[in-house]
């Protein structure tokens, strides 16, 4: 395999246009040109005649895939990164659930190790700690025994173990110590998000002003909207500085709730995530999420204990498809919500668009929006059987 390819597709979605008959040239892992087939100087190395080239999907919130959960085991992280390429993901942020401190430190160390490994998967872009500093009243499937108030020294210990690969932390901003924690996290260069929270409107707005820039799975794990106290949901919908994560499996959110977020924030203010657990890509059955037992039935994952939704079995390609097919969004908007917008929200400026100078991360979709091929840093890491016309010499 080589990190240089000239990929011909039926169509390509660039930031400004939908191009027909395009060649995407990738040299040394970087996009060099996106041009019409007629303008391309050399013949393609691969051709997907009916393929639609889009930027590779960026999943900023994923707990596991195909039997592996995010944990202190670097092999598991690499397996997840190699697994999700069949769903079009080219960058992921492995996400922990609330756990004892030693397990979070181990996850930090595992991420540092996994990032340095050679593998044929998606780029492991950094660790996301979801909790443990979240609100017990809004814990969803987070382990109640592991919840605790924000503590800067805990964050510091994970950051040290992660050797620069800790990227993001989700907390409930109403907890004691949150202000200092948010400030410390921002000083570390981390993206800070609010979730599993009962924050009122004013507390949420203050936290957004202090540097929180993402609403973790907007609506899910949050106190409900009330017209006299719109709470963190109202504050997230109104604040242009906040990108709202949406789980668009059509189980976690009523289509109307997705439309409300899009109407309030525009697609520019919304990013798709999977929140996928280890059961994703596997049959229905009994699984776990951290210490919690879950059962997956018809693809929906719930806690055995109380029936709360427990992560999802959603994949990024399905998240995009649902928006296009069930909500009637145009493909370019839905794709941006899975690529450019999460990349920006996660403060990655080297990916998320088909644009010269950015990483050679591409996903090739077919007409029904299933994944034909996935290319990470110019290397074809996934190709569906019989997906391409064999033009390679
Ligand atoms: Zn989650």
Q: Is 12 left (phi over 0), alpha (psi -120 to 50) or beta?
A: beta
Q: pLDDT for 19-65, tens place per residue? A: 999 999 999 999 999 999 888 888 999 999 999 999 999 999 999 99
Confidence grade of residue 386 (pLDDT, cut at 50, 70, 90): low
The pLDDT value recorded for residue 387 is 66
Q: pLDDT for 138-148, tens place per residue? A: 999 999 999 99
Residues around ion ligand 1, judged by CB within 5 A, are 130, 275
Which of these is catalytic: 68, 200, 239, 275?
275
Distance 99 CA to ligand 1 centre (A): 13
Q: pLDDT for 56-105, tens place per residue? A: 999 999 999 999 999 999 999 999 999 999 999 999 999 999 999 999 99
The average pLDDT across 98-118 equals: 98
The set of residues, in sequence order, having a beta carbon less than 8 Å from that of 306 and lying 6+ positions away, is none
The pLDDT value recorded for residue 393 is 38
Q: Is 256 left (phi over 0), alpha (psi -120 to 50) or beta?
A: alpha
Distance 97 CA to ligand 1 centre (A): 7
pLDDT at 342 over 90: yes
Distance 20 CA to ligand 1 centre (A): 38
For residues 36 and 11, give the distance between their C-alpha atoms in angstroms, rounded to a whole number: 10
Domain 57-345, CATH = 3.20.20.140
| Bond from prior residue into 132 cis (ω within 30 degrees of 0) | yes
In the chain, where the domains are located: 5-54+353-383, 57-345
CATH architecture of 5-54+353-383: Roll (2.30)
For residue 338 the two structure tokens come to 């899975």
Distance 274 CA to ligand 1 centre (A): 8
The pLDDT value recorded for residue 15 is 87
For residue 264 the two structure tokens come to 């309030």
The pLDDT value recorded for residue 234 is 98
User: Of the ranges 60-64, 259-263, 345-349, 382-386, which one carries the lowest mean pLDDT score?
Assistant: 382-386
The pLDDT value recorded for residue 385 is 81
The pLDDT value recorded for residue 2 is 55
The vertex-258 CA angle with 301 and 286, nearest 5°, equals 5
Among candidate residues 1, 6, 11, 5, the one with its CA nearest the CA of residue 364: 11
Distance 221 CA to ligand 1 centre (A): 10
For residues 112 and 114, give the distance between their C-alpha atoms in angstroms, rounded to a whole number: 6
* pTM of the predicted structure, to 2 decimals: 0.97
Share of the chain above pLDDT 90, in %: 94
Distance 188 CA to ligand 1 centre (A): 22
SS3 per residue for 339-354: CHHHHHHCCCCCCCCC
The set of residues, in sequence order, having a beta carbon less than 8 Å from that of 298 and lying 6+ positions away, is 284
Mean residue pLDDT of the chain comes to: 96
The average pLDDT across 224-239 equals: 98
pLDDT at 1 over 60: no
The average pLDDT across 266-293 equals: 96
Catalytic, 275? Answer yes
The average pLDDT across 336-343 equals: 98
The pLDDT value recorded for residue 321 is 98
């Amino acid at each position: 395999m080589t990190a240089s390819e000239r990929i011909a597709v039926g169509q390509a979605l660039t930031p400004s246009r939908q191009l027909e008959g395009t060649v995407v040239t990738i040299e040394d892992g970087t996009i060099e040109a996106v041009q019409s087939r007629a303008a391309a100087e050399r013949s393609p190395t691969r051709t997907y005649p009916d393929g639609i080239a889009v930027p590779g999907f960026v999943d900023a919130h994923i707990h596991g895939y195909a039997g592996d959960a995010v944990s202190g085991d670097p092999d598991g992280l690499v397996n997840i990164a190699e697994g999700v390429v069949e769903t079009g993901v080219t960058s992921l942020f492995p996400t922990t659930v609330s756990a004892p401190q030693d397990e979070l430190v181990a996850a930090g160390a595992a991420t540092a190790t996994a990032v340095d490994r050679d593998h044929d998967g998606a780029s492991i872009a950094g660790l996301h700690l979801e909790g443990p500093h979240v609100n017990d009243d809004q814990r969803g499937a987070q382990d109640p025994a592991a919840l605790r108030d924000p503590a800067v020294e805990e964050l510091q210990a994970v950051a040290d173990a992660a050797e620069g690969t800790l990227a993001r932390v989700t907390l409930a901003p109403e907890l004691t110590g949150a202000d200092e924690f948010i400030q410390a996290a921002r000083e570390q260069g981390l993206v800070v998000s609010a979730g599993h929270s009962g924050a009122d409107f004013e507390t949420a707005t203050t936290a957004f002003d202090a540097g929180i820039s993402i609403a973790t799975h907007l609506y899910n794990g949050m106190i409900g909207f009330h017209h006299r106290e719109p709470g963190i949901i109202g504050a997230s919908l109104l604040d242009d500085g906040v990108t709202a994560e949406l789980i668009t499996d059509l189980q976690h959110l009523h289509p109307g709730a997705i439309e409300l977020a899009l109407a309030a924030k525009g697609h520019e203010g919304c990013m798709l995530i999977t929140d996928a657990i280890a059961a994703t890509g596997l049959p229905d059955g009994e699984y776990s999420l951290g210490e919690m037992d879950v059962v997956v039935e018809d693809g929906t994952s719930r806690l055995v204990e109380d029936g709360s939704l427990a992560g999802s079995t959603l994949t990024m390609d399905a998240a995009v498809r649902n928006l296009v097919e069930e909500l009637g969004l145009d493909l370019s908007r839905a794709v941006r919500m899975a690529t450019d917008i999460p990349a920006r929200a996660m403060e990655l400026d080297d990916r998320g668009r088909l644009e010269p100078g950015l990483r050679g991360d591409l996903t090739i979709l077919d007409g029904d929006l299933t994944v034909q091929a996935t290319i990470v840093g110019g290397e074809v890491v996934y190709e569906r059987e019989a997906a391409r016309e064999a033009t390679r010499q």
